[in-house]
Structure 1
Amino acid sequence: MKTTRRTAFVAAITALVVSLAGCSMGKPQASASASDSKTLTVWSMNGDLSPEVLNEINARFTKETGAKVKLEMHDWDGITTKVTTALTTSTPPDVIDVGNTQVSGYAANGGLLDLTSHKSDLEQGQTWVKGLEDSATYDGKLYGVPGLLAPFAVLYNKKIWADAGITTVPTTYDELEKDLDAIKAKHADDSSFSAFYLCGQDWYSALQWIWNDGGNIAKQSGSKWSGSLESEDSVTGVSDWKAFQNKYSAPASRTLATDSPDQTQIFADGKAATIIAPSSSIGTAVNLKSQVTKDDIGSFAIPGKDGKPQPTFTSGSDWVIPAKSAKSDLAIKWVKIAASPDIQENYVFPKQFLNPNTVEGNEHIMKSSAMTDSLKGYVDSAKAAVSTPMAAGWLKVEGNKVMETYFSSVASGTSTPQQAGEKTDAQLNDLLNQ
């Protein structure tokens, strides 16, 4: 997971398939020699857990086991190549922080330790958020442990909404559209203003409409995956999204990505009353040359047609253990501490405002003194988190920007929802099964 809490990297996936094919890596290797058996190597990603949180985990681990931790921080750019290479060596790191949509690609080729028999112990009496648990599971087996959750929710500028006469968040989809109509009318003279800024390539957000109408990206039957974007429910969902996007977001946004131009900057400049973004965007918006303060920002989960929050894309990270780690027993102990309720509720959330990995943890933080209006919507969104297809080929789908092309073609009108669905399903049928 990047600091934007969105992108799972796909570079070197071909190398992963070639390098790991035929390798027997499903079991832990022999114990390490005495010289290095007391040092655990952990790879963590810049932008995920902070040094303060990681230091607390390491201190607890050392106190419990007597072992030390060699912590290595890595950037997201190029990390897939590094992980791919590490998984093929005889001395990989013992624990790796990976983006949640990456797990299936590594697990499918035998690179990760099967943690299924440890699941109950790792859950520690809690219930992992379903979207995170799903993303850590491949072919019915657990290969990752949810490390953190960064769900998407609506961020809105309270001042702009209040200027249009709106002081409470919508609780139904009809109310949302009514509120946005009022905001749009208030700014009718500004063609660059968006009542709700949505980029055409922003598939993470757009999926909410498809899921809410009962559609999906793809379905699995046995070992085979098939695209389902041309299904009636998916076509209805993407049609609803197109109508919403075209009506409330500036026309220029229909073919754009969220970072070009940066949608958080647009929000900070007061050119958008509303966006969908991860909680990290709150601090970013305030720290930019901005017209908004933290107190100006509120959040809510988009209400679906059924009155419940729309299902949201699961953004987060998982801890995985390479199958070739010689210290898998120690690695499991470290991961258990990192995923523990105390670390999640008393460090991950109050120190970084990232959601805990469990249902109970998200209920707990609602009562926390650190909870603010700008964070409440993320708890509701966390409960409705949904994962992308756990197919080994999903990394290739992201690498080829299949979903970006699909949604932007619909938003811009270059393809009808049905045409785009049929074309994209043909790509999914190929890529997901590779």
Structure 2
Amino acid sequence: MRSPASSPSGSRPTAALRASAAVLALSALSACGSSADAGGGDSAGAPSELTVWIMRDSVTDGFLQRFEADFESTHPGTTLKVQIQEWDGIGQKITSALASKDAPDVIEVGNTQVAQYAASGGVKDLTDRTADLQGGDWIPGLAEPGKIDGKQYGIPWYAANRVVIYHKDLFAQAGITTPPKTREEWIATTTKLNSGGNDGIYLSGQTWYALAGFVWDEGGDLAVKGADGKWAGSLDTPEAKAGMAFYQQLQALGSGPKDADEAKPLQAEVFAKGKTAQLISTPGGAAAIVKANPALKDKLGFFPIPGKTAAKPGAVFTGGSDLVIPESSRHQAGAYEVVKALAGEKWQTDMAKEMSYVPNRTSLAGVLAGNEGASAMAAGAVNGHATPNSPNWAAVEANNPIKQYMTQVLTGADPAVAGKTASAAVTKALNSSH
């Protein structure tokens, strides 16, 4: 049964993203669980009331009702008490819960926030359960942020990532019948579309998640962790420079601003004017476009961000949710059963179809067949990545030096100098607690 949660206060997490069939939303989400007999929990099969925290709008009421009924019927004597949590203030609320002696049994958390919560020492290490949960099949961009220093604290629940949304009519007018599959093809296609008063692509100068994908494709990263445990920004590496060079080439084939991100102006509203051929967004962005211009209904297509070769799509940031189990859960065995069910094939399939999410396993991508946007997202998810797995990553985003670096390069600054400055800022933010 579900019960309302108390009203927390504070700010919403900024680093993760999610997409649903009806709503465009980017948010950080996750959940976790713990193993039986590890930390003084209940014994396997013992009747109990399990408290589960789920973030608002992560799943529908219908999904929760089906899951609750099924779980309680297959676990006689156990009652689920699902409490819907608000995003405002959730970070502090989870931190306080993990430090208490009466924490909920399972918590959904944003995948990029697992490191922060694990650093508190209040999250159960589930490394010995990954085989039972078929961890070898998890999509990498969702599994990686749940793994801290070789230990799996967060269990992947669902994912969302960016794709290319395109205007089918403009592609047809340009004689383009097949979406590009490589970077080289993408540039050629976009160049062809960038004519006749149309923009080949709308790409703002500070869409840093897209840049991160290009850097990952080159074998680089935004920051790296040294043997001494300290982090160092890496935007001044050859790999980062190559990723930025491709971003600059692509961005020049449209009229996006060089000193703003995709929210200024809202890129969906720009696209809705009907003169833009492509943009990078979660599939849910299509709903915002159609809302702004209903005439574009059925005129939007989707394809994965192209990679360096056709063998693999371009790298993408994977946002979504993990499930975690607090150390202080009094029902360890029952909590693990909840996590195992939610992360298992039956409920992954149900949720993917209901919410148009990417399921946590690569082998389940086919369940989205027939949903063009979600299928493109699932195809891209196989090359998913996460932001640097530091508890202090939020400090980087607070005054994002990556955005500043991008604008500087796009407006003529020396990439080497701008990259060095940005790397120093990232390094300082990530090591702020040292």
TM-score interval, normalised by the smaller of the two chains: 0.7 to 0.9
Residue 224 (1) aligns with residue 230 (2): yes
Of the three residues 164, 178, 192, the one matched with 2:188 is 178
- Is residue 286–residue 292 contact of structure 1 (8 Å, CA) maintained in 2? yes
Q: Tell me how far 1:279 sits from its aligned partner.
A: 2.2
Q: Tell me how far 1:46 sits from its aligned partner.
A: 2.0
> Within 1, Cα distance between the matches of 2:288 and 2:73?
36
- Is residue 355–residue 378 contact of structure 1 (8 Å, CA) maintained in 2? yes
Q: Tell me how far 1:343 sits from its aligned partner.
A: 1.3
- Corresponding position of 1:156: 166
- Is residue 152–residue 315 contact of structure 1 (8 Å, CA) maintained in 2? no
Which stretch shifts more, 333-342 or 46-55?
46-55
Q: Which amino acid aligns with 1:179?
A: T
> Within 1, Cα distance between the matches of 2:270 and 2:57?
22
- Is residue 172–residue 304 contact of structure 1 (8 Å, CA) maintained in 2? yes
Q: Which amino acid aligns with 1:386?
A: H
- Is residue 5–residue 315 contact of structure 1 (8 Å, CA) maintained in 2? no
Q: Which amino acid aligns with 2:242?
A: T
Q: Which amino acid aligns with 2:345?
A: P
- Corresponding position of 1:365: 367
- Corresponding position of 1:21: none
Residue 375 (1) aligns with residue 377 (2): no
Query: After TM superposition, which residue ranges in structure 1, 4 or more long, deviate above 6 angstroms?
Result: none
> Within 2, Cα distance between the matches of 1:149 and 1:412?
34
| Shift in CA distance, 194/37, structure 1 to aligned 2, threshold 3 Å | farther
Q: Tell me how far 1:103 sits from its aligned partner.
A: 0.6
> Within 2, Cα distance between the matches of 1:410 and 1:6?
27
Of the three residues 211, 231, 235, the one matched with 2:216 is 211
**Structure 2 residue matching 1:255: 3-state secondary structure:** coil
Residues 184-204 of structure 1, C-alpha deviation per residue, up to 9 Å, x if partnerless?
1122xxxxx532111222211
> Within 1, Cα distance between the matches of 2:104 and 2:264?
35
Alignment of 1:11-410 (within 5 A): 30-31=40-41, 38-66=48-76, 67-123=78-134, 127-187=137-197, 194-222=199-227, 223-245=229-251, 247-251=252-256, 253-293=257-297, 295-307=298-310, 308-345=312-349, 347-362=350-365, 364-365=366-367, 368=369, 371-410=370-409
Q: Tell me how far 1:146 sits from its aligned partner.
A: 0.6
Q: Tell me how far 1:357 sits from its aligned partner.
A: 0.7
Q: Tell me how far 1:28 sits from its aligned partner.
A: 5.8
Residues 294-330 of structure 1, C-alpha deviation per residue, up to 9 Å, x if partnerless?
x212111222233331111111111111222112221
Q: Tell me how far 1:73 sits from its aligned partner.
A: 1.6
Q: Tell me how far 1:7 sits from its aligned partner.
A: 4.7
- Corresponding position of 1:22: none
- Is residue 132–residue 357 contact of structure 1 (8 Å, CA) maintained in 2? yes
Q: Tell me how far 1:164 sits from its aligned partner.
A: 2.0
Residues 400-427 of structure 1, C-alpha deviation per residue, up to 9 Å, x if partnerless?
32333332333344x4321221112112
**Structure 2 residue matching 1:335: 3-state secondary structure:** helix
Of the three residues 423, 426, 429, the one matched with 1:428 is 426
- Is residue 115–residue 389 contact of structure 2 (8 Å, CA) maintained in 1? yes
Q: Which amino acid aligns with 1:418?
A: A
Q: Tell me how far 1:106 sits from its aligned partner.
A: 0.8
- Is residue 269–residue 290 contact of structure 1 (8 Å, CA) maintained in 2? no
Gaps of 5+ in 1: 10-26, 188-192
Q: Which amino acid aligns with 1:297?
A: L
| Shift in CA distance, 376/204, structure 1 to aligned 2, threshold 3 Å | same
Q: Tell me how far 1:8 sits from its aligned partner.
A: 4.4
Residues 263-309 of structure 1, C-alpha deviation per residue, up to 9 Å, x if partnerless?
1222233242211111222333333443311x212111222233331
- RMSD between aligned alpha carbons? 2.4
TM (normalized to structure 2)? Answer: 0.85
- Is residue 112–residue 320 contact of structure 1 (8 Å, CA) maintained in 2? yes
Q: Tell me how far 1:238 sits from its aligned partner.
A: 0.8
**Structure 2 residue matching 1:61: 3-state secondary structure:** helix
Q: Which amino acid aligns with 1:397?
A: V
Q: Tell me how far 1:5 sits from its aligned partner.
A: 5.4
| Shift in CA distance, 260/82, structure 1 to aligned 2, threshold 3 Å | farther
**Structure 1 residue matching 2:132: 3-state secondary structure:** helix
| Shift in CA distance, 194/54, structure 1 to aligned 2, threshold 3 Å | farther
- Corresponding position of 2:414: 416
Instruction: Name the structure with the higher helix share.
Output: 1
Q: Which amino acid aligns with 1:426?
A: A
| Shift in CA distance, 173/291, structure 1 to aligned 2, threshold 3 Å | same
| Shift in CA distance, 28/260, structure 1 to aligned 2, threshold 3 Å | farther
> Within 2, Cα distance between the matches of 1:214 and 1:119?
27
- Is residue 269–residue 291 contact of structure 1 (8 Å, CA) maintained in 2? no
Q: Which amino acid aligns with 1:173?
A: R
> Within 1, Cα distance between the matches of 2:221 and 2:83?
38
Q: Which amino acid aligns with 1:273?
A: A
- Is residue 17–residue 318 contact of structure 2 (8 Å, CA) maintained in 1? no
Q: Which amino acid aligns with 1:199?
A: S
Residues 64-112 of structure 1, C-alpha deviation per residue, up to 9 Å, x if partnerless?
2231122122232322122122222221222111111111111122121
Gaps of 5+ in 2: 1-15, 19-23, 30-36
Q: Which amino acid aligns with 2:219?
A: G
> Within 2, Cα distance between the matches of 1:344 and 1:2?
18
- Is residue 28–residue 325 contact of structure 1 (8 Å, CA) maintained in 2? no
